[in-house]
Structure formats: C-alpha cells, structure tokens
Structure 1
Amino acid sequence: MARSVWSLWDEEDVEPLMVDEATDPKLWLMSLSNTLPQRKFVQVLVTLWAIWWARRKAIHEEEFQSPLSTFLSIQNYISEIEWEKKEHAKPGASRNKDAKWLPPDVGFCKINVDGAVAKSCVRGAVGAVCRDERGRFLGASAVVYAGVTDPTMLEAYACKEALELVEDLSQHKLMIASDCLNVINDIRAKFYKGYYCMILRDIEQRRVSFQATKYGHEQREANGEAHRLGWLPLKRLDAMFGFWIHRIIFVYP
C-alpha cells in the first residue's frame, strides 16, 4: 500500500527520503524538516498521514482505498493548503487581526488555542499554534473529538492539547492563551469541579513537567490562527478522508 502510493510521486520528490539514513522516525522527520523546502516537507507529512489513515481504515474497518485514490486525496489536501495561504495573503484578509498577536515574556513560548463545533455532525475540534517570544512559528496541532460539541469543554481540551504540543516541541517555559475566560479562570484557581473537571485535573498533572506555565485570556481577534486551525479539520479533512479522531501535528523549521 505505502510503496504504491509513494511510487505515484515524482522520483525527484521521493529520492531525498531514501537518502536520509536515520533509523528513528522522529529524528528522520526532523532531519527532513531541515533539508527539504517547506512545500516538500508538507508533502511528506500529508503523504505519511494519508497512508496511515488508509491502512487504519483497511485493518480496523475493512474499508479499502486504492493507492490512486489516496494519492489524489493527498494532492487535493495540499491544494487546499495552498489555496488557504493565497486567500490569507490577499489585501484586506484577516492578516490585520493576526497583527494583534501579543508576545509572551522573554524565554517563553506562547500557544494560542481555540475550539470549534461542527455544524453538520456531532463532533468538535481544537487547534493549537505555538510561537516563540519573537513570533517565530514553532509548530501547531489539531485534534477532532467525536461526540464533543460543548464549546467550554473543547476550550479545556485545547489547553490540554497545548501542553502536549509543547512537550513534542521540547519547550520548557510556556504561556497558553485562550479566548474562553471561564476555562482560564478555572485553571488558575485550580477549580476542579463541574462536567470538565477531569480535563482540568489532567492539565494540572501535566503542568509539573515544565519549568514554568502561564495562562492568559485574550480576545478572539488576537487568536485568529488557532481559530482557523480548529475549523480546518472540520471543513476540509473530513470531506476527503472521512471520519477521523486522531491528532495531527505540523512542525516547520
């Protein structure tokens, strides 16, 4: 399956993947992120994810997708990413709102988080975008939750996802920014009651793994990237790959 999908790409696109001799998957990806152009690296990530998804559907649900269908889905998704970039780059787009991004304290990274609820099905999603104190992009992730449509619970899940993302990025001092004041206040006050208390407890347990953690409330206009990322899997990926509940991470050099 995987070999058939990779064979549909141009040879010049696949050759750099075979040259790298790293045996650890994470080190292999990090090496590729440093050597490949950004567009090529995105192509690799999307291809790996699509192959994994097709294999999962075949093994666990006995739904089989041809290598050509998987390949076309990959191309379609990459085209969607490029379209989103072009739309965002147009004059008068939401760039002005993103210009209000507020930097964290010196030595800290900042993760903007947000949640989104699907309009046509019972599921929600969260997005997390991490930048350093200078605003340089470090990584991002998105997660879809089946059966979760409560906005406040999704915001709590988004804060939890921020901690997991920062751990993957090997950062030690962080600030999490959300536009949900209730969740931020509950985390600060260590108020572990209510219907999403277990999520808050998990956040507190994970917090001790870092040197310093801060939580801040920001208005929606300063949270544009995370808001769009939270909506992305609900609007785009579901239409191409079907129902998915796993985590996808984007890390660029």
Structure 2
Amino acid sequence: MWGTDPQWKWVLEMKDSNIKEVFKKAFSEKNDVELMTYTGWAIWNRRNQIRFNEASCPLNQILALSKERKAEFQRLHLAAVTPQHRNHTRWKPPETGACKVNYDGAVFSQQGRAGLGVIIGNSDGAVMASMVQQIPLPTTVAQVEALVARRAVEFALEIGITKAIVEGDSETIVRELKEPTLSMALHGHLIQDVKCLSSSFVSLSFTHVRRQGNNATHALAKWAIKEPNLSVWMEDVPPDIRQIVMADSATV
C-alpha cells in the first residue's frame, strides 16, 4: 500500500520502527502528516472490516479515499472558521410542472445506525410524498449522503414522477452527481447508480442547498431513529415534521 505512491516509500524503510518514530520523521521532513494519518486510519479500518466479514474499501482505493477525507475535513474546517455573510436560505418550490425531491441523511453513531429522509414537493409547496428509512451505519458520512440520494431518486420513480429537481445539502455528493466523470470515492458506485436511474426521467437535475433550505428533510432523517422500518406517507409527513414543512411552505 505505502509503496504505491512515491511520497510514502520511506515508510516501508521504517517497518521495524514504532508509530512515534514514523510521525517524528514525517514532521521533520515536512511530509503530508494529515494525509498519512487518514491513510493509516483507513488501512486499520479496512483490516477490522475484513476481520468481521464486512464490506471494505479495495486496497487500491485507500489513497484516493484518504485524500477525499482530508479534503472534506479541510472544507468543513474552512467553513467553520470563515465568517458567513449570507442571506438566510429558505426552501424554494420548483417551477410549474416539476417536483422537488429533497433528501438528507442522519447519523446515529451510538446505535450504529443511519437515517434516510426524503420529501417530495410540488410547485405550490405542497407535499406529494415523503419517506423515511433506517439502515446500518455505513463507513463514512459521504456514503450516507450518497445512499439517501439514490433512495430519493428511486422513491421519485416509484411514485411516478418524471420531471424533478433533486436537492441535497452535501456539496460533495451534488458535485459528484453533476460531474460526467466516474467517481473514484468509496461511495462512487452509489453515484453511478443515481446517474443510471436518471435516464428513466424525462427531466432530472441536481442542486445544492444549504442546511437552512433543507430543514424539513433533515428533521425527517433524524426522525428515522424512532422508526426501524421503511415508512412512506402520501401527501403528508410524520406529525412531528408538519410544523417545519408548514413554515417552509409559508414563504412560497
């Protein structure tokens, strides 16, 4: 693994050294310590997944996954420390004749579960359908977001929608859905699934919205911890979520 990238070949020469010595050398030679940390964690995590007969990241994708995790952390850290001077974001209905499919995921680390939430609305701001599903917790947050994006598109097809705008608050997933190239991320196969499903629509586009514009779906995804089974509501959402949906539609 460490020999696949020239910058890490020196690690192979330290196979008899302890982790403290490896990091000391990395710092002294100004190597990419952050990437080395993410890579080491990914290798350790893969070993445990194989040990427990769980799905694991292919060894030849470890470096790409580690770079992606490092980049995602840096984006989130930059967003946290950079002052935001933006107008408040609200959910906006689609144009007449189309539907908007909002999706979001929630992570329940202590329970080892994740929640998927989808709400489909029309141009009048009315709910056409909603669904929630609880699943085993995937390896990364990006996988959760990719899984719910795929479930959102599947759900739209299941209820007969042919023109839709699919909207989520993960910039990474939306960007990958828009890109024509193949995603090499751990969740790349899920992105490809969504792109394949897209061909079943007359019109389908992907958009990003900040969390404030996805409040109802976020709340629905968190509500999934209460419901272990797949649940679907036609022209409605769970009672706990109605007030949030009404607040969004009040601005339409």
TM-score, reference length from structure 2? 0.55
Alignment counterpart, residue 214 of structure 2, candidates 203, 223, 231? 223
Q: Choose which of 230, 234, 238 in structure 2 pairs with 1:247.
A: 230
Is 1:137 aligned with 2:127?
yes
Deviation at 1:181, TM superposition (A): 0.5
CA distance in 1 between partners of 2:179 and 2:119 (Å): 24
What is the aligned partner in structure 2 of residue 32 from structure 1?
none
Distance 1:103 1:233 in 2: 24
- Aligned equivalent of 2:169: 179
**Structure-2 separation of matches of 1:145 and 1:229:** 14
Correspondence list, 1:113-192, <5 A: 113-148=103-138, 150-190=140-180, 191-192=182-183
Q: Tell me by how many angstroms 1:123 deviates.
A: 1.5
Tell me by how many angstroms 1:106 deviates.
2.7
- The answer to whether 1:203 aligns with 2:194 is yes
d(CA) in 2 for partners of 1:218 and 1:192?
21
Q: Which segments of structure 1 move beyond 6 Å, counting only runs of 4 or more? A: none
CA RMSD of the aligned region, Å? 1.8
Q: CA deviation at 1:150?
A: 2.1
Aligned counterpart for 1:213 among listed residues 204, 208, 212: 204
In structure 2, the residue corresponding to 1:223 is in which secondary structure? Answer: helix
- CA–CA separation in structure 1 for the residues paired with 2:166 and 2:114: 20
Structure 1: 5+ residue stretches without partners: 1-96, 238-243
In the alignment, is the contact (CA less than 8 A) between 1:129 and 1:226 conserved in 2? yes
CA contact (8 A) 2:164 2:205 kept: yes
1:249 Cα offset (Å): 1.2
Structure 1 residue matching 2:96: 3-state secondary structure:
coil
Aligned equivalents of 2:139 and 2:216: distance in 1? Answer: 21
Q: What do the CA deviations read for 1:57-113 (whole angstroms, capped 9, x no partner)?
A: xxxxxxxxxxxxxxxxxxxxxxxxxxxxxxxxxxxxxxxx8x921122332100111
Deviations 1:140-199 (A, max 9, x none): 111222132522111111111111211122111000111101100001003321100110
CA distance in 2, matches of 1:149, 1:122: 10
Structure 1 residues 211 and 103: alpha-carbon distance in aligned structure 2, compared to 1, 3 A threshold: same
The answer to whether the 8 A contact 1:117-1:149 is kept is no
Map 1:30-69 → 2, pairs under 5 A? none
| Mapped partners of 1:117, 1:147: distance in 2 | 7
d(CA) in 1 for partners of 2:231 and 2:150? 15
Distance (Å, rounded) in 2 between the aligned partners of 1:121 and 1:154: 15
What amino acid sits opposite 2:219 in the alignment?
R
TM-score by length of 1: 0.55
Question: Following the alignment from structure 2 to structure 1, what is the Cα–Cα distance between the partners of residues 146 and 109?
Answer: 20
CA distance in 2, matches of 1:156, 1:149: 12
Which of these two proteins has the greater Rg computed from alpha carbons? 2
